[in-house]
Structure 1
Amino acid sequence: MNNKYEGRVMWSHLDANMHMRHSAYADFAAQARIVVLERLGLDLEAFKRLHIGPILFREELVYLREVGIKEQLTVTVELTKSRADGSRWSIRHEIFREDGVKAAIINVDGAWLDLHKRKLTNLPEELVELFKRLNRSPDYQEE
Structure 2
Amino acid sequence: MYLKEFEIRWSDVDANRHLANSAYLNYMSHTRMSFLMEIGVDHRSLAQHQIGPVVFYEHMYYFKEAFPGKPVKVSMEIMGMSEDGKFFEFHHNFYNHKGENFAHCEMMGAWIDLKTRKLIALPDDFMKMFESVEKGTGFRVLTKEDTRKFSKTPKNL
- Shift >6 Å, 4+ stretches: none
- Structure 2 residues not aligned, in runs of 5+: 143-157
Cross-structure match for 2:28: 29
Return the alpha-carbon distance in structure 2 between the equivalents of residues 65 and 133 of structure 1: 34
Cross-structure match for 1:108: 107
Matched residue type, 2:12: H
Cross-structure match for 2:138: 139
| Preserved CA contact (<8 Å) 1:86 1:123 | yes
Return the alpha-carbon distance in structure 2 between the equivalents of residues 112 and 76 of structure 1: 21
* Structure 1 vs Structure 2 CA RMSD: 1.2
Return the alpha-carbon distance in structure 2 between the equivalents of residues 73 and 48 of structure 1: 31
Cross-structure match for 1:57: 56
User: 1:135, CA displacement in angstroms?
Assistant: 2.8
CA deviation map 1:20-76 (0-9, x unaligned): 011111111111000011110011111111111110101111011111013211111
Matches within 5 A, 1:7-18: 7-18=6-17
Normalised to the residue count of structure 1, the TM-score between the two structures is 0.94
Alpha-carbon distance change, 77 to 133 in structure 1, aligned in 2, over 3 angstroms: farther
Cross-structure match for 1:95: 94
Per mean C-alpha deviation after superposition, the further-off stretch among 124-133 and 51-60 is: 124-133
Return the alpha-carbon distance in structure 2 between the equivalents of residues 70 and 114 of structure 1: 41
Return the alpha-carbon distance in structure 2 between the equivalents of residues 133 and 68 of structure 1: 36
Q: Percent identity?
A: 27
Return the alpha-carbon distance in structure 2 between the equivalents of residues 82 and 37 of structure 1: 14
Return the alpha-carbon distance in structure 2 between the equivalents of residues 46 and 24 of structure 1: 27
User: 1:132, CA displacement in angstroms?
Assistant: 2.4
Normalised to the residue count of structure 2, the TM-score between the two structures is 0.86
Return the alpha-carbon distance in structure 2 between the equivalents of residues 122 and 65 of structure 1: 38
- Structure 1 residues not aligned, in runs of 5+: none
